[in-house]
Each structure stands twice: as structure tokens, then as C-alpha cells.
Amino acid sequence: MKAFIDTSSLIKKYVEESDSKLLDEYLEKIEQIIISPITAMEIHSVLERKLREKTITVDEAEFVEKEFKIDLIYFGVIKWNENLEKKTIQMIRKYQLKVFDGMQLASGVLSNSDIFITSDKRLYNTASKELKKAVFIGSL
């Protein structure tokens, strides 16, 4: 199975969160992970927030950065090009999304994945309208 995973869910692969085990169950079935071109930036942003909130240590953040960098070699990354920009603008206008949410959704659409995985409620609701299969990792 080919899956597009947005940052809100992908971080659960590296940082233990309440629903990490559910993501792990999906990861066992997934053959290819596709991510947005902004995911790496968002991962670093999430880590900085978690450091500020003191929910992870500096050592843990550095470990996650290293593990993500290794995994990135195996992930499919949607190319940032004119098609992505057009699709992002289309998604923003159609669903009144923030830029990064619009780009995550547009990336998911362009990835032609079997499944779109997110832990963002609003993005899940929107993706459910736009894609054949969206999965929410979390509690609705």
C-alpha cells in the first residue's frame, strides 16, 4: 500500500504520542510513504515546539532529526513545482485552508496514494471530501 502521511501523523513515528501505536499498525501495512516537500521543515518546527514545551529533551530531538534524515532517503517526496503550487492554491480556495494545510492536501492529491493519513482534524475532514481514503490518527 502506498500512503501519503502528513507531518501531524508522521511525527508519531519518531516521538511517542498517545496514538503512535495506531500509526505503527498502519506502517506495518505500508510499502511506500509519500510526504510533502514541506514535511522536513514542519518536523523541525514540531521538534522546536516540543523542546519549548519541555515535552522532549535536546538529545531526543537530535535523535529524531537523525532518524528522520535516514528515513527521508526512503520516502517519496512530492516535487515542489508549478503543478503543486496550482493544486495548493486550488485547495486553499476550495476549502479555505492555511497555506501549509493546502500544500499537504495538494501533495496528497498529487501523490495518487491509496490512503491519506493525518492527525489534523480539519485536514482530515477536508481530505475526506477530496480523496478516496483518508484516515485520522487521533481522537475525533
Domain spans, the chain = 2-136
C-alpha 138/C-alpha 90 separation (Å) is 27
Over the stretch 43-94, which tens digit does the pLDDT of each residue have? Answer: 999 999 999 999 999 999 999 999 999 999 999 999 999 999 999 999 999 9
Q: What is the pTM of this model?
A: 0.94
Share of the chain above pLDDT 90, in %: 96
Burial class (CB in 10 A: 0-12, 13-18, 19+), 64: buried
Over the stretch 26-53, which tens digit does the pLDDT of each residue have? Answer: 999 999 999 999 999 999 999 999 999 9
If pLDDT is split at 50, 70 and 90, which confidence band does 140 have? low
Q: Which CATH number fits domain 2-136: 3.20.20.140, 3.40.50.2000, 2.70.98.60, 3.40.50.1010?
A: 3.40.50.1010
C-alpha 6/C-alpha 124 separation (Å) is 10
Q: Which three cell numbers stand for residue 116?
A: 491519506
